[in-house]
């Protein structure tokens, strides 16, 4: 009985990878646990182990092939032991359920091919208006790494600290190469002690250093939230301006894929609630780079919210080490005049998809990437609403006391006379994040929902 060996998924967000090397040849005998091949994703190189015994009968995908989709048959194994028959059966016929897996459904179409250099075509990629120098196509991951490297070259008080940031090159490979360039005094692996190293970072910032503290994900910043709120955010005020905390807390925020309730939540509104903090949540790679550079230079504590699902997406990024994006400025990423949609981080991509859906129905939506949550660029939003008279706020986090609530309040205070419809909020469903693929999808805002909300405020 023959079994197909399928291209495995090696991480929650992997949809395809490169088959870099075959370690077994046609005709080789294979035991369970033997390494068959090596696979590369944009994050790592991994080995494919055999689960069944047999003889490698056929190699279907030659080594060096890029963009092999998960679940593609890559080889055929001829079983030798009839008794083994029962287990491998499912491997030959993956249930269609696989197709509905969240990672695929969630990765925006244009980006599904990462790390191939294809850039999203439909999306306007204008850098900051003033910039006209050279650009390069980079992933968000690379842009973040470059921002840190450039600022570390520029200022030797800047250092990076966190779990797995040095030798492992970052749990999500964001700090790739930094240990090599800056050495272990400036790129520091910590024990798993978030409250401790966040506090240590704030103390170091009190005395003039400029720490970048990476949380492996922002979920773990809750271990450290007391030091962030009570120490980093308040000490400048409590000391009458003597002692600021020039520190950046950064890491992936929000839902990744199928990692369930304790590992999927958006902290934008949590930290935005706190006076004394700045909160940044970029979408594009250019903004990720320009804003992270600003955050590192900023004399205040900055919460820098990244998104794992964006790390592999590519955008045009300015290649000038002095180019930065100011904190506190939103950006119109798609001009339009019938309805304003605000979003931040990954939801900008989803909002742009929604705008395309709306365009097909003759509705011209303006999409604003907030980029900074606090201080909020109300001027840009109000200017847009004066033109469109309608606002839909989109966020991945929960609705109660969320960014959308703030948006609605700002509209009441600053644009009441211009509104032709109540502000609409599209947010994550008000429940902890479920694990099941179908429920997870229902829990997160989708483009169709945003389009629906936009139509409602347009009375269509």
Partner 1 sequence: MAKAATKPVAKSAAQPAKIPSEDLIRHYRDMLLIRRFEEKAGQLYGMGLIGGFCHLYIGQEAVVVGMQAAAEEGDTVITSYRDHGHMLACGMDPKGVMAELTGRAGGYSKGKGGSMHMFSAEKKFYGGHGIVGAQVPLGTGLGFAHKYKKDGKVAMVYLGDGAVNQGQVYEAFNMAALWKLPVVYVIENNKYAMGTSVQRSAAGTKLCDRGLAYGIPGEQVDGMDVAAVRAAAAKALGRARDGEGPTILEMMTYRYRGHSMSDPAKYRTKEEVAKMRQEHDPIDRLRERLLAEKHIDENGLKNMDREVKDLISQATEFAQASPEPDPAELYTDVLIDLETVRA
Ligand X SMILES: Cc1ncc(C[n+]2csc(CCOP(=O)(O)OP(=O)(O)O)c2C)c(N)n1
Which residue numbers are catalytic?
194, 263
With vertex at residue 215, the alpha carbon angle to CA 163 and CA 148, rounded to the nearest 5 degrees, is 90
Does position 51 bind partner 1 by CB under 8 A? yes
Contact 217, 308 (CB under 8 A): yes
- For partner 1, give the closer residue by CB, 12 or 120: 12
Q: How many residues form the binding site for ligand X (CB under 6 A)?
A: 6
- Burial per residue of 379-412, b for 16 or more beta-carbon CB atoms within 10 angstroms, e otherwise: ebbbebbeebbbbbbbbbbbbeebbbbbbbebbe
Pairing of strands 54-59, 29-30: antiparallel
DSSP 368: E
Among 177, 196, 328, 399, binds partner 1 (CB under 8 A): 196
255 binds, among ligand X, partner 1, none (CB under 5 to 8 A by kind): none
State which of residues 126, 379, 401, 442 lies at the interface with partner 1 (CB under 8 A): 442
Nearer to ligand X, 10 or 77 (CB): 10
Ranges within 153-212 binding ligand X (CB under 6 A):
163, 192, 194
DSSP secondary structure letters along 17-62 = EEEEEESS-TT-EE-TT-EEEEEE-SS-EEEEEP-S-EEEEEESS-
How does DSSP assign 294-342, residue by residue?
HHHH-SS-EEEEE-GGGTT-EEEEE--TT----TT--EEEE--SSEEEE
Tell me whether residue 91 or residue 260 sits nearer to ligand X (CB atom). 260
CA separation for the pair 454, 346 (Å, rounded) = 19
412 binds, among ligand X, partner 1, none (CB under 5 to 8 A by kind): none
Told to check if 70 binds partner 1 by CB under 8 A, we report: yes
Residue 185 burial (10 A CB sphere; 0-12, 13-18, 19+): exposed
Instruction: Pick the closest to residue 21 from 42, 11, 35, 4 (CA basis).
Output: 35
Question: Which of 182, 206, 215, 220 touches partner 1 by CB under 8 A?
Answer: 220
Least gap, CB of 169 to partner 1 (angstroms): 9
Which residue of the chain is nearest ligand X when measured via CB? 220
| Residue 86 interacts with which of partner 1, ligand X, none, CB < 5 to 8 Å by class | partner 1
| Residue 450 binding partner 1, by CB under 8 A | no
CB of residue 388 to ligand X, shortest distance in Å? 42
430 binds, among partner 1, ligand X, none (CB under 5 to 8 A by kind): partner 1
Site for partner 1 in 88-127 (CB under 8 A): 90-91, 94-95, 97-98, 101-103
Residue at token pair 């309805």: 339
Minimum CB–partner distance for residue 243 and partner 1 (Å): 24
Q: Per rule CB under 8 A, is residue 23 in the interface with partner 1?
A: no
Cα(335)–Cα(359) distance, rounded to whole angstroms?
12
**Is residue 399 classed as helix, strand or coil in its secondary structure?**
coil
Binding mask 209-238 for ligand X (x = CB under 6 A): -------x---x--x---------------
Closest CA to 389 of 322, 454, 325, 305: 454
Site for partner 1 in 238-257 (CB under 8 A): 256-257
Query: Do the strands 2-6 and 16-22 form a parallel or antiparallel pair, or are they unpaired?
Result: unpaired
Q: How many CB atoms lie within 10 A of CB 243?
A: 14
Residue whose CB is less far from ligand X, 194 or 396? 194
Residues of this chain that bind partner 1 (CB under 8 A): 6, 8-12, 14, 32, 43-49, 51, 70-71, 83, 86-87, 90-91, 94-95, 97-98, 101-103, 163-164, 167-168, 171, 189-196, 219-220, 222-223, 256-263, 429-432, 434-439, 442-443
Residues of this chain that bind ligand X (CB under 6 A): 163, 192, 194, 216, 220, 223
């Amino acid at each position: 009985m023959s079994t197909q060996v399928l291209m495995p998924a090696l991480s929650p967000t992997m949809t395809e990878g490169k088959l870099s090397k075959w370690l077994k040849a046609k005709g080789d005998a294979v035991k369970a646990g033997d390494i068959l091949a090596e696979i590369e994703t944009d994050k790592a190189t991994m080995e494919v182990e055999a689960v069944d015994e047999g003889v490698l009968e056929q190699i279907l995908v030659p080594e060096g092939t890029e963009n092999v989709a998960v679940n593609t048959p890559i080889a055929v194994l001829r079983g030798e032991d009839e008794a083994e028959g029962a287990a491998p059966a499912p491997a030959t016929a993956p249930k269609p359920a696989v197709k509905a897996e969240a990672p695929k459904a969630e990765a925006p179409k244009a980006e599904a091919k990462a790390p191939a250099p294809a850039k999203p075509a439909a999306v306007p990629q204008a850098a900051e208006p003033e910039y006209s120098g050279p650009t390069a196509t980079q992933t968000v991951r690379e842009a973040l790494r470059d921002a840190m490297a450039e600022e570390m070259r520029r200022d030797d008080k800047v250092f990076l600290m966190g779990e797995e940031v040095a030798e492992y090159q970052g749990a999500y490979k964001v700090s790739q190469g930094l240990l090599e360039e800056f050495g272990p005094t400036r790129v520091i692996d910590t024990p798993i002690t978030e409250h401790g190293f966040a506090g240590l970072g704030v103390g170091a910032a009190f005395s003039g250093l400029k720490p970048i503290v990476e949380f492996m994900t922002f979920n773990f910043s809750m271990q450290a939230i007391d030091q962030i709120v009570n120490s980093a955010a308040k000490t400048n005020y409590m000391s009458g301006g003597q002692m600021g905390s020039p520190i950046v807390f950064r890491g992936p925020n929000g839902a990744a894929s199928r990692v369930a309730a304790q590992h999927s939540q958006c902290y934008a509104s949590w930290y935005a609630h706190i006076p004394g903090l700045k909160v940044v949540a970029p979408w594009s790679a250019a903004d990720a780079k320009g804003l992270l550079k600003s955050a590192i230079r900023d004399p205040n504590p900055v919460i820098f919210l990244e998104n794992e699902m964006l790390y592999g997406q590519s955008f045009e990024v300015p290649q000038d080490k002095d180019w930065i994006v100011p904190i506190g400025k939103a950006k119109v990423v798609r001009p339009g005049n019938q309805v304003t949609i605000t979003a931040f981080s990954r939801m900008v991509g989803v909002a742009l998809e929604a705008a395309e859906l709306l365009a097909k129905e003759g509705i011209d939506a303006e999409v604003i990437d907030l980029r900074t949550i606090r201080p909020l660029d109300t001027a840009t939003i109000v200017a847009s609403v004066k033109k469109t008279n309608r606002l839909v706020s989109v966020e991945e986090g929960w609705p109660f006391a969320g960014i959308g609530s703030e948006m609605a309040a700002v509209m009441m205070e600053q644009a009441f006379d211009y509104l032709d419809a109540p502000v609409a909020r599209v947010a994550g469903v008000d429940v902890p994040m479920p694990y099941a693929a179908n429920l997870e999808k229902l829990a997160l805002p989708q483009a169709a929902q945003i389009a629906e909300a936009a139509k409602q405020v347009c009375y269509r």
